[in-house]
A and B are shown apart, each in its own frame.
Chain A
Amino acid sequence: MYRYDEIDQAVVDQRVAEFRDQTRRFLAGELSEDEFRPLRLRNGLYIQRHAPMLRIAIPYGLLATRQLRRLADIARKYDRSFGHFTTRQNLQLNWPELKNVPEILEQLASVQMHAIQTSGNCVRNVTADHMAGVAPDELDDPRPYCEILRQWSTLNPEFTYLPRKFKIAVTGSPEDRAASEVHDIGLHMQRDAAGNLGFKVFVGGGLGRTPIIGQVVREFLPLTDLLSYCEAILRVYNRYGRRDNIHKARIKILVKSLGIEEFRKQVEAEWAASKDFATQLDMAEVDRVRAFFTPPAYERLDDIDAAHGRELEFQTWYRYNTRPHKVRGYRAAFVCLKAHGFIPGDMTSDQMDAVADLADRVSFGLVRTTHNQNLLLADVRQTDLYDVWVELKRLGLASPNIGTLTDMIACPGLDFCSLANAGTLNVAKQIQKQFDDLDYLYDLGDIEIKMSGCMNACGHHHVGHIGILGVDKHGEEWYQITLGGSVNGFTALGDVIGPSVKQDDVASTIQRIVEVYRARREDGERFIETYRRIGMKPFKDNVYVQNSAAA
């Protein structure tokens, strides 16, 4: 993985010192809350329902075990011994004290980590495919480009006071596991006709109140033009993005109002006009960063049938929670953060420490966070999988439900977040309880549930096969359900099925929805495919007939 040199370290150390001074001035009353807000937000610090929430950056989801152990330590010392992994591959702490935050940042800096630009109206943590570097179908590892973008965007003088937040995701595989088409900029690695690597550039995707799928602004961008082109996009956005209305300030609104043709014209004109001055990336720098992501020292092994002769429980875990690896004899194994009774994405300090130990033994000392709020041990020898399963099971991290309905995405919801309208924790628990029969779950197959506690859509409900949105109805927590959203391979926004339902009815409503799928599916058809074929009506008919009958 990438290792800081003296420049990287100095940038982070300087920001820690700056934030320490800013916090001191705020606590001394020299800065008002209004003045401090944009400063702390640019360092990942929100003031939430109970206490500040600190969002720690995990660039493109990659963690060395010493970093994971440090996160465990910090959660233990400054919080309640657990953290929440987010859809953007970061870690959130829900109860740190403001006065301790500079110290936390210092401890992060000592293991080459930070919280720079994890919130605020600036370029956020750059995310990537969690299978980067090991996916069999990958064109190129996206992480070097994420790291280059991380450096370029960190304290970028021109783009730190944007109209609104700005998210970039990069994927190196045809299968988009990074949800890049719902990012402000989505970069898909491509080869041109001559075989040169570059990017297809999507712009203006995003969820939130106005969900929009990104559009292609450039079919092919050569590698070394990455930064200059992003600068052109950001410059057009910084100048012409709306600043009068927070709900219309994302780049997606600018792209929508101009139209993609006009937006492209402006970006290309800006790019051309800036050619002589824009930040240039050269192949020497690309190669310097790439060298940090060379494959680990894999052994020469043959593929084995790891599940052969093992108990059914292991076979099931193997089937659902591991993925093929591009190197023979290896497989990627998920650390499942979707156990029954827990908030999706939550992990205790003890679990973090134990997973760090495990990764040191079996996966080259590296752990990844995923967009779906799990962790991944990416480089496990197939011969080690059984031991990995035994250990993960002991830790409560082996629920064999990856890719199934209970492997759901959820934001922290009303229990933690001051923006939320409704809780997500209780609903997640209800769904886990309703669908605790594994055979039934497996029969349903690949269904993605994504849940947000408010329209800010941190849980990406718009792009869930089944989306759940918490809404406030006269002080009560109700839930609006959407069907047909998708980000993987074919990005689509879900359609609202009908009136929202009460908290206690969410799990049973989902049960009725999936029953329609079970009754109507054709051979081998996944839920999303059945929905696309038969449309909303059969689902709607079944859900609301029974709801009104019950009422």
Chain B
Amino acid sequence: MSRILRRHEFVEDDWVTLGADASPGDDAAVIVPFAKFRESREAFLARSGRLGVLLAPADKVEDLAADLPRLALVALQFTGPGEGRGYTAARLLRQRYAFKGEVRAVGHVKQDQLYLMARCGIDAFELAPTEKPEEALATLARFKVAYTPGEPIPSALRERFRSRAG
């Protein structure tokens, strides 16, 4: 079981990511790849355990929108150092769909990206195995000021460009 950096704390991962053939118990918290979720949507939604969905970079948040209220977690897959679609996906989840559950970055998740990911609304990180946990945590506090509104920077700082959502 891997450790997850969740809201500035390292915790044991209490979620199971569903592979191609896994069949966890009905009450386990599972993360299901979006394609698999679509195949058996009713069955997954009928389970008693908490449900999360894993979006690949090309998956559209819009296609998951109707089910978001029934999800406790959305995981965003980062496939490499240049992959940037997850940042927009996180923004859409938080802003357009007001998703309140966990938004987790998985895959190529390195310390130098965490700050920007967090500002887009990602609040949990499954760090790449090479990453040093304490250094990674420290990067979240690296920037004290930013130009545009975003998650970890306190709103007490003057925000030049305001978001109507506040």
Contact = CB atoms under 8 A, between A and B. Distances in A.
Contacts of B161: 151-152, 227, 279-281, 285
B160 A161 contact: no
Contacts of A365: none
A439 interface: no
B143 to A, nearest CB: 5
A500 to B, nearest CB: 34
Interface string A130-161: 00000000000000000000011011111111
A243 interface: yes
Interface in B90-147: 91, 95-96, 110, 112-113, 115-117, 119-120, 142-147
Nearest to B90: A158
Contacts of A238: 84-85, 87-88
A163 B164 CA distance: 28
A35 interface: yes
B49 interface: no
B116 A157 contact: yes
- Chain B at the A interface: SS class: loop
Nearest to A37: B81
A157 B149 CA distance: 10
B148 interface: yes
Given A276-B165, A277-B163, A280-B163, A235 B147 contact: no
B96 A152 contact: no
Interface of A: 7, 10-11, 14, 17-18, 22, 34-35, 38-39, 121, 151-152, 154-163, 227, 235, 238-239, 243, 273-282, 285
Contact of B158 (A7, A243, A280): A7
B165 to A, nearest CB: 5
Nearest to B62: A273
Contact residue range for chain B? 35 or more
A277 B81 contact: no
A7 B112 contact: no
B144 A38 contact: no
5 closest cross-chain pairs (CB), A and B: A161-B84, A157-B119, A277-B95, A157-B116, A10-B145
A322 to B, nearest CB: 38
Given A38-B81, A243-B82, 6 more contacts: A14-B144, A157-B116, A157-B150, A158-B91, A279-B148, A280-B163
B96 A273 contact: yes
B83 A11 contact: no
Contact of A161 (B87, B95, B164): B87
A163 B87 CA distance: 12
A239 B161 CA distance: 23
Contacts of B150: 157
Contacts of A10: 144-145
Contact of A17 (B110, B120, B142, B149): B142
Contacts of B147: 7, 11, 151-152, 154-156
B120 A158 contact: yes
Contacts of A277: 95-96, 163-165
B63 to A, nearest CB: 13
B89 to A, nearest CB: 8
B142 A14 contact: yes
